[in-house]
Amino acid sequence: MGRGRLEIIAESLIEWVIRLCGISAIIFIFAIFLFVFKEGAEFLFNELDLTEFFFSKEWYPTSGYNKRYGVLALIVGTGSVTILAMLIAVPFGLGAAVFISEFCGPRLKESLKILIELLAAIPSVVWGFIGLTVINQLIIHVFNAPVGLNILNGGIILALMSVPIIVSIGEDALKAVPDSYREAAVAMGATRWQLIRRVLLPAAKNGLLAAALLGVGRAVGETMAVLMATGHSVNMPNSVLDSVRTLTATIAAELGEAPVNSDHYQVLFIIGLLLFSITFVVNMTADLIVRGVRKK
Amino acid sequence: MKTDKMNLRWKLAIGACLVAGLCLVITGCGRKGDGTSSTGGKNTIQNTGSDTMVNIAQAWAEAYDEVKPSVSIEVAGGGSGTGVAAMINGTVDIANCSREMTQEEIDQAEKNTGKTPKKHIVAYDGVAIFVHKNNPMNEITFKQLAEIYGESGKIDNWSQLDVQLPSGASDEIVRVGRQNSSGTFYYFREEVLGERRDFKLGSRDLNGSKEVVELISRTPGAIGYSGMGYDTEEVKMLHVAEAEGEEATEPTVENVISGHYPLSRPLYMYSLGEPTGEVKAYLDWVHTPKAQLIVRECGYVPMPSITNVTEETPDLSTSSTNSAQ
């Protein structure tokens, strides 16, 4: 008697716990979005000039007489550093993934994987420090640039940081391609190159795309390393040797000191909303592309 | 048998909930910043704020540990604005500030905590203009600085200042500054650019006094401002003249005390309301000759009353110094 009842209760309880875990992600996302929105909403609807916000590069949140909140330069900064980082990281990351999954022996494979995962374990402050000291000096000497804290520096650092993610997810995607595909291709007389280009890459397309997009997400969201490596300078860049400032770094540098609920504080939350939207759009596009691919 | 297993699961689940609840309760019970908190019989004073002052605040905290081992001072930097924000939220006992709190901030603190922040001058500091050690320049005027740093200022290259950098360095002036809520940022803007002028966009806004000097030491074409206590072998401090034709003054302790160096400023510690108990004892100790000696060792400028230069008090607002004997 009692046994049966207990069992039923326990079962439904566990079921609920699991269900809660499942939907908790959605709850958290909405809660975070609502919180960020709430903090910035008042200023967003009442005072903020959206044209100025998006199309002016003048970021003077603490000016003594004429406060201006234009984030164009920050958007361009985030964009340029991310694009450069991906130009470096995606070919390297996917190349490494192909090499690890298809070319090397089991021993080398294991040691390479451990090494690459170690790369992911380096804290971003340490990356920033490397950017500030080592790469800064290198760029000054090699390119004869006035200062080594710039898009190139930030891009290199971010590329190094996103390569591990791209490699491990890309490698998983390649591993998921059934061996029968490989066997079939080899049986047909395909060379290794043909096997990779015609069989594996198309078969693992979605996974590889996801790998690249997660790398983008990492790059857009990274804060501390870019804060130190890009020079943190509100500037419309003309070349990769110019300093820039990113959206994330601005929030990190200024939020702690902006008086709570001041205009400046609220604008920083609106920048947070903007970042939220950017990542949302990136993920949505990825999702749509993947679905489009599936339909074919 | 099965019932026992289920019971165990039940207990585990309830236990987990309890643990989670307990965690929430513990984290929810944040200290409400009224006076010092005592943990394990030891009094703790929270001391946050100015990045310029973090060196001296730390040195004081260490020395005070020997004076009064029962009190521990927890020092954190982050910038004057961070200290002020923490004071408004009531989470610090002493906020370090390299600028004065604005009336708006004082009002907010009153509204939030019911107490008025009280200002105590604890030391003086010179804001030095740093360049790379190989830069041949030795002197600079306020006007040149304003043209370099100010919005729509016309000086962007070293050649415009008749400065020939050693070969290999590019001619562009790499402006290094502080993030826009730093006390040093405010001070420099007010003194050099004036009330109604902003900084030129595109300066490298770094997050700490030390980082400014660090970047300049690695960049031949750089110029920047930071506390004179952060001077190193790798950089050079320029002599500064307030007006053209005036003699440029070197940033030294003597020149800051005498008021000849034009970029001198007081450093403040703010307490919430009239300090009491351990906070008062600490602030009193900070004004003793022994503590002021540490100021000098750290490269800052001690209080004039301590250094016996009373007839030549720096040309600064000394309205509410907490004179301690």
Q: Give the pLDDT confidence score for residue A281 in this predicted structure.
A: 86
Q: Which of B244, B264, B284 is the last residue of a domain?
A: B264
| C-alpha A291 chain-centroid distance | 21
Q: Give the pLDDT confidence score for residue B21 in this predicted structure.
A: 46
More confident residue, A280 or B323: A280
CB contact under 8 A, A6 and B172: no
The pLDDT tens digits for A27-65 are 998 999 999 999 888 898 888 888 889 999 899 988 877
Q: Are residues B78 and B140 in the same domain?
A: no
Q: Are residues B119 and B226 in the same domain?
A: no
Q: Which residue of A has its CA nearest to B208?
A: A253
Chain A residues touching residue B9 (CB < 8 angstroms): 10, 14
Q: Is the dihedral of CA A155, A239, A245, B172 positive or negative?
A: positive
Residue B110 domain-assigned (yes or no): yes
Residue B13 domain-assigned (yes or no): no
Q: Give the pLDDT confidence score for residue B209 in this predicted structure.
A: 87
Q: Are residues B111 and B131 in the same domain?
A: no
> Chain-wide mean pLDDT for chain A?
88
Interface check A275 vs B, CB under 8 A: no
Percent of chain B exceeding pLDDT 70 equals 80
Amino acid letter for position A104: C
Return the closest-CA partner of residue A54 out of A218, A282, A270, A280: A270
Chain A residues touching residue B89 (CB < 8 angstroms): 260
Interface check A15 vs B, CB under 8 A: no
The pLDDT tens digits for A178-220 are 999 999 999 999 998 899 999 999 988 888 888 888 888 888 9
Chain A residues touching residue B105 (CB < 8 angstroms): 259
Q: Are residues B208 and B246 in the same domain?
A: yes
**Range in A89-93, A276-280, B303-307 with the lowest mean pLDDT:** B303-307
On the CB side of A269, CA atoms within 13 Å amount to 22
Residue with structure tokens 């050690």?
B133
The pLDDT tens digits for B91-111 are 899 999 988 888 888 998 898
Q: Give the pLDDT confidence score for residue A3 in this predicted structure.
A: 64
Q: Are residues B176 and B82 in the same domain?
A: no
Does residue A263 register a pLDDT over 90? no
Residue B20 domain-assigned (yes or no): no
Interface check A65 vs B, CB under 8 A: yes
The pLDDT tens digits for B190-228 are 899 988 889 998 899 988 888 899 889 988 889 999 999
| Residue range of the domain that includes B291 | 29-124+266-324
Q: Which of B226, B242, B264 is the last residue of a domain?
A: B264
Residue B2 domain-assigned (yes or no): no
Q: Which residue of A has its CA nearest to B193?
A: A64
Residue B17 domain-assigned (yes or no): no
Return the closest-CA partner of residue A245 out of A271, A217, A278: A271
Q: Are residues B143 and B246 in the same domain?
A: yes
CB contact under 8 A, A257 and B88: no
Return the closest-CA partner of residue B261 out of B286, B242, B237: B242
Q: Give the pLDDT confidence score for residue B32 in this predicted structure.
A: 38
B233 pLDDT band, cuts 50/70/90, is very high
Interface check B219 vs A, CB under 8 A: yes
More confident residue, B313 or B289: B289
The pLDDT tens digits for B129-174 are 999 999 999 999 999 999 999 988 999 999 999 888 887 677 889 9
More confident residue, B273 or A65: B273
Q: Give the pLDDT confidence score for residue B309 in this predicted structure.
A: 40
Strands B42-49 and B71-78: parallel
Q: Are residues B54 and B89 in the same domain?
A: yes
Q: Give the pLDDT confidence score for residue B33 in this predicted structure.
A: 39
Cβ within 8 Å of residue B180, ≥6 positions away: A60, A61, A62, A254, B199, B205
How large is the ipTM?
0.76
> How many domains does one find in chain B?
2
Return d(Cα B204, Cα B220) in angstroms, integer: 15
For residue B36, the domain's CATH number is 3.40.190.10
Q: Give the pLDDT confidence score for residue A13 in this predicted structure.
A: 93
Spatial contact of B70 and B282, defined as CB atoms under 8 Å apart: no
Q: Are residues B49 and B111 in the same domain?
A: yes
Q: Are residues B160 and B280 in the same domain?
A: no
Q: Are residues B119 and B156 in the same domain?
A: no
On the CB side of B29, CA atoms within 13 Å amount to 6
Residue in B168, B181, B195 nearest the CB of A62: B181
Cβ within 8 Å of residue A147, ≥6 positions away: A136, A140, A231, A243, B174, B204, B215, B219, B221, B222
Backbone angles phi, psi at B301, to 5 degrees: -110, 125
Q: Which of B242, B264, B286 is the last residue of a domain?
A: B264
Amino acid letter for position B225: Y
Residue B22 domain-assigned (yes or no): no
Show which of residues 117-176 on chain B sit within 8 Å of chain A, judged by CB atoms: 168-170, 172, 174
Q: Give the pLDDT confidence score for residue A47 in this predicted structure.
A: 82
Residue B1 domain-assigned (yes or no): no
> Chain-wide mean pLDDT for chain B?
81
What are the distances in angstroms from CA B105 to CA A97, A260, B89, B108? Answer: 54, 10, 11, 5
CB contact under 8 A, A132 and B105: no
CB atoms within 10 A of CB A8: 11
Q: Are residues B251 and B212 in the same domain?
A: yes
Q: Are residues B95 and B201 in the same domain?
A: no
Residue B16 domain-assigned (yes or no): no
